[in-house]
């Protein structure tokens, strides 16, 4: 029997002999470097602090850099990722083949912690190990490619750095990074939007479970974050730390043997304006490619790896940042943002319930500065602050909604921000970016920086998915990048996918950052399958630093006193979260803590009743079944086909005063619970 460690050497000898016999010169590329390799011999490894998660790194027989990720479970190694590819090709040099390992750095223990105003946890810390592997190409002796590998107990990540001849231009034409999953791995993927009017905005419906062996069609690739489940691990892929010059990445549309490759934005994005390639100069660093993975779905859902792998806050005082709850007129009445009298009723709603903010949406500039000043004064008298909508503008954007031309030009933007800050405006909602190309990534960052300089909160809509900026810029409160509740007003068919999608989002999109879904529909403005209990629960199931409540004053203030009280006290900032139960596409039960008060949101995404046991739930040893609580669940629902209206049992709520030992949640139903020990 041939020793398995000798196989790569023998294969190389056989290939060289075959190439020479045919007169080919193997040094001139006669070998097809796209040829897959069964295994490579690891030349180094990096193990997580608890010893369970391991990077293995080396070169294959064609001198391509490769890695795999392995988890040890009860002493047995199981693959998280099979042999996957590293490297990239730049316009003037290549680090994807014919490399040698120049140096292997020592293992370093690293720790990170943060205190931030928003997120699933305002304070978090993590321990990890890190090791750098440096590759050299004989074709480019003045440059070195260093890959930093990072591993915590439930996440692994890598990034590239180019060092050497300082000032050398970098333009990444092709990234070779890939993620190869074991056969049979299940997927919950979001097809990337086609570049079109107002797209991409990460609003495509997320697929139901498939497998990597039978990937569905996605002509424009798959969006981050992407969720997978093998026999032993849940895994979420995403990226973080997008800096100036970077493009926002995705997973490419071609999947071969379960292997997904990182791809750039589509050239047609943003009105076909600008190139897709990430650019910079040496010394240069890429974003982090992040692999959040655990046998326990809760560890993936609760992960803060995206922010741990982001830069610390930019210089400045962010003590002024105040997350909060927001009333919003546009959802129920699109023209209302042009009509100050209607806007006043939503300011009054915020004041009556106890919310901090009210949003004035598109085309507010049509009613003039005097009316705006009067509206600001009306809000101030009631203890409410206003936020204003803006079109991102610029050549990448063809949307005409206004004000349009106040964000793209730096001087105009800075003047406008200073003006509205002086008026007392609390923040801005900037919409319609339509591109992940480097100039648009730079625009996001410039808006955040200028807003921070003027003490303005920021909400991005029609935007890219969060990639860690809320740590670097703590004034970034939330990002849409989701097929949210506004779609009800455009697409009658949305109601049929919303319940299922709502139970996917906690495990996918909301893992990577605050999500402005704009939840909690309690009236009959739109037709929906979700019950009022389901909708109430979304205020806790979905995390957003600015939680925009979409419905009307009548829909909210007509609710029982206990429900109005819950709406007025449910926080938008959290100290801790725990996944109690859930599975993407069927149900989600999430607990979040603010101070000593725990909130539990439970939703059912299916047409069948589900019973969730709470007997084993103990939150900080304080909250257990039998604790005094406010419990709001749906009354009995006769049939999932029953059309919900305010007369239907589906919209009737039952209110309890004790945390039960189990929740029985009806079709498309839910519960909202507050427990104050």
pLDDT of residue 556: 98
How confident is the model over 269-283, as pLDDT tens digits?
999 999 999 999 999
- Asked if residue 615 has pLDDT above 90, the reply is no
Q: How far is CA 278 from CA 20, 112, 375, 443, 455, in A?
A: 39, 27, 44, 15, 30
Helix (H, G, I), strand (E, B) or coil at 509: helix
Backbone angles phi, psi at 666, to 5 degrees: -75, 180
Residue scoring higher pLDDT (38 or 331): 331
pLDDT in tens, 238-268: 999 999 999 999 999 999 999 999 999 999 9
Residue 438, classed as helix, strand or coil, is: helix
Range 32-308 classified under CATH 2.70.98.10: yes
Question: If you search the block for the tokens 């209302």, which residue do you land on?
Answer: 336
Judge contact between 574 and 592, C-beta under 8 A: yes
Query: How many Cβ atoms are within 10 Å of 149's Cβ, its own excluded?
Result: 24
Reported confidence tier of residue 618, pLDDT bands at 50, 70, 90:
confident
What distance in Å separates the CA atoms of residue 251 and residue 93, rounded to the nearest whole number?
Answer: 23
Predicted confidence (pLDDT) per residue in 465-482, tens digit: 999 999 999 999 999 999
Instruction: Give the whole-number percent of the chain exceeding pLDDT 70.
Output: 92
Structure tokens at 538: 């979304």
Torsion sign (Cα): 454, 456, 461, 467: positive
Residue linked to tokens 């390799």: 37
Sign of CA dihedral 498, 501, 506, 512: negative
Give the span between the Cα atoms of 383 and 426, in whole angstroms.
12
Provide mean pLDDT across the span 430-449: 97
- Minimum mean pLDDT range among 23-37, 383-397, 615-629: 23-37
Nearest Cα residue to 229 out of 276, 166, 297: 297
Q: In percent, how much of the chain has pLDDT > 90?
A: 86
pLDDT in tens, 552-597: 999 999 999 999 999 999 999 999 999 999 999 999 999 999 999 9
Q: Alpha carbon of 551 to those of 80, 330, 396, 457: distances in Å?
A: 43, 9, 32, 22
Q: What is the pLDDT of residue 25?
A: 30
Distance between CA atoms of residues 266 and 220, nearest Å? 7
> How many whole angstroms separate alpha carbon 179 and alpha carbon 67?
9
Q: How far is CA 654 from CA 532, 560, 562, 563, 633, in A?
A: 11, 10, 10, 10, 5
Residue (of 544, 474, 89, 464) closest to 239 by Cα position: 464
Beta strand ranges found along 329-368 (DSSP E): 357-360
The mean pLDDT value for 19-29 works out to 30
Cα separation, 130 vs 232, in Å, equals 24
**What's the pLDDT score for residue 216?**
72
Residue with tokens 């103990």: 618
Cβ burial 588-625 (10 Å sphere, 16+ → b, else e): bbbbbbbeebbbbbbbbbbeeebebebeebebeeebbb
Chain region(s) in the chain for CATH 2.70.98.10:
32-308
Distance CA 214, CA 256 (A): 10
Helix axes 368-381, 410-423, angle to 10 degrees: 50
Please choose, from the candidates 651, 664, 413, the residue with its C-alpha nearest in 3D space to the C-alpha of residue 535. 651
Which residues are registered as beta bridge partners of 671? Answer: 602, 633
CA distance 286 to 261: 16
The span from the CA of 228 to the CA of 239, in Å, is: 16
Comparing CA positions, the residue from 495, 460, 502, 518 lying closest to residue 604 is 502
CB 358 within 8 A of CB 392: no
pLDDT tens, position by position, 50-65: 999 999 999 999 999 9
- List C-alpha distances in Å: 522 to 172, 293, 437, 644: 49, 36, 39, 10
Q: Which residue in 666, 665, 591 sits closest to 629, CA to CA? A: 591
Residue 402 to residue 496: CA distance in whole angstroms: 32
Which helix (H) or strand (E) segment is 409 a member of?
none
Smallest Cα–Cα separation from 285: which of 170, 173, 179, 176?
A: 170
Q: What tokens were used for 340?
A: 């100050």
Higher-pLDDT residue of 214, 401: 401
- 8 Å CB contact between 226 and 252: no
Angle separating helix axes 438-453 and 410-423, nearest 10 degrees: 30
pTM over 0.95: no
Burial class (CB in 10 A: 0-12, 13-18, 19+), 98: middle
Q: CA-CA distance, 336 to 343, in Å (whole number)?
A: 7
d(CA 300, CA 153): 11
What was the pLDDT predicted at 315? 95
Indicate the range of 54-58, 342-346, 652-656 predicted with least confidence: 652-656
Integer Cα distance of 604 and 337 in angstroms: 34
Query: Quick one: tokens of 136?
Result: 């050299």
Residues 448, 463 contacting (CB under 8 angstroms): no
| Mean model confidence pLDDT for the chain | 91
- Put residue 595 in one of left, alpha, beta given phi > 0 → left and psi -120 to 50 → alpha: left
């Amino acid at each position: 029997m041939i020793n398995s460690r000798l196989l790569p050497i023998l294969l190389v000898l056989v290939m060289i002999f075959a190439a020479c016999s045919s007169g080919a010169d193997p040094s001139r590329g006669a070998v097809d470097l796209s040829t897959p390799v069964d295994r490579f011999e690891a030349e180094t490894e990096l193990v997580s602090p608890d010893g369970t998660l391991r990077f293995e790194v080396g070169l294959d027989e064609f001198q391509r850099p490769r890695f795999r990720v392995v988890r040890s479970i009860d002493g047995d190694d199981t693959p998280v990722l099979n042999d996957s590819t590293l490297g990239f090709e730049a316009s003037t040099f290549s680090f994807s083949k014919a490399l040698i390992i120049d140096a292997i750095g020592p293992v370093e223990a690293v720790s990170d912690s943060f205190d931030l105003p928003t997120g699933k946890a305002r304070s978090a810390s993590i321990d990890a190990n890190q090791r750098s592997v440096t590759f050299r190409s004989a074709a480019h002796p003045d440059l070195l490619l260093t890959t930093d590998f990072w591993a915590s107990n439930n996440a692994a990540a890598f990034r590239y750095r180019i060092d050497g001849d300082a000032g050398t231009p970098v333009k990444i034409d092709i990234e070779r990074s890939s993620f190869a999953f074991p056969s049979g791995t299940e997927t919950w993927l979001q097809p990337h939007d086609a570049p079109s009017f107002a797209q991409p905005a990460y609003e495509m419906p997320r697929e139901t479970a498939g497998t990597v062996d039978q990937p569905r069609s996605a002509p424009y690739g798959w969006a981050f974050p992407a969720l997978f489940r093998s026999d032993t691990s849940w895994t979420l892929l995403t990226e973080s730390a997008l800096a100036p010059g970077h493009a926002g990445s995705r997973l490419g549309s071609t999947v071969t043997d379960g292997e997904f490759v990182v791809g750039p934005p589509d050239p047609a994005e943003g009105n076909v304006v600008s190139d897709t390639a990430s650019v910079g100069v040496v010394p240069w660093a890429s974003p982090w490619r992040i692999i959040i993975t655990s046998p326990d779905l809760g560890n993936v859902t609760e992960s803060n790896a995206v922010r741990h792998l982001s830069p610390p806050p930019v210089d400045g005082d962010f003590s002024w940042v105040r997350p909060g709850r927001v009333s919003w007129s546009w959802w129920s009445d699109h023209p209302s943002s042009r009509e100050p009298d209607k806007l006043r009723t939503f300011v009054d709603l915020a004041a009556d319930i106890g919310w901090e903010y009210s949003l004035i949406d598109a085309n507010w500039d049509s009613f003039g500065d005097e009316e705006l000043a009067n509206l600001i004064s009306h809000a101030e008298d009631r203890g409410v602050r206003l936020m204003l909508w803006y079109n991102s503008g610029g050549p990448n954007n063809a949307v005409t909604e206004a004000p349009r031309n106040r964000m793209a030009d730096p001087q105009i933007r800075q003047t406008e921000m200073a003006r509205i800050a002086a008026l007392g405006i609390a923040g801005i909602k900037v919409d319609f970016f339509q591109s992940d190309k480097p100039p648009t990534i730079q625009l996001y960052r410039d808006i955040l920086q200028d807003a921070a300089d003027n003490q303005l909160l920021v909400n991005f809509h029609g935007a890219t998915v969060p990639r860690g900026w809320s740590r670097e810029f703590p004034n970034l409160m939330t990002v849409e990048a989701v097929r949210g509740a506004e779609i009800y007003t455009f697409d009658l068919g949305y109601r049929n996918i919303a319940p299922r999608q709502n139970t996917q989002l906690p495990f996918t999109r909301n893992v990577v950052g605050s999500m402005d879904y704009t939840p909690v529909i309690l009236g009959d403005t739109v037709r929906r399958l979700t019950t009022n209990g389901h909708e109430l629960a979304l205020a806790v199931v979905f995390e957003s630093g600015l939680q925009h409540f979409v419905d009307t004053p009548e829909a909210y203030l007509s609710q029982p006193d206990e429900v109005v009280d819950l709406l007025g006290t449910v926080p938008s900032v959290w100290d801790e979260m725990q996944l109690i139960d859930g599975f993407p596409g069927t149900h989600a039960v999430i607990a979040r803590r603010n101070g000593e008060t725990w909130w539990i949101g439970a939703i059912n995404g299916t047409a069948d009743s589900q019973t969730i046991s709470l007997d084993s739930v103990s939150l900080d040893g304080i909250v257990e079944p039998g604790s005094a609580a406010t419990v709001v669940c749906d009354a009995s629902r006769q049939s999932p086909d029953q059309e919900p209206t305010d007369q239907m049992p589906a919209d009737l709520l039952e209110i309890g005063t004790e945390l039960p030992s189990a929740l029985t949640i009806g079709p498309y139903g839910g519960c909202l619970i507050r427990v104050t020990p």
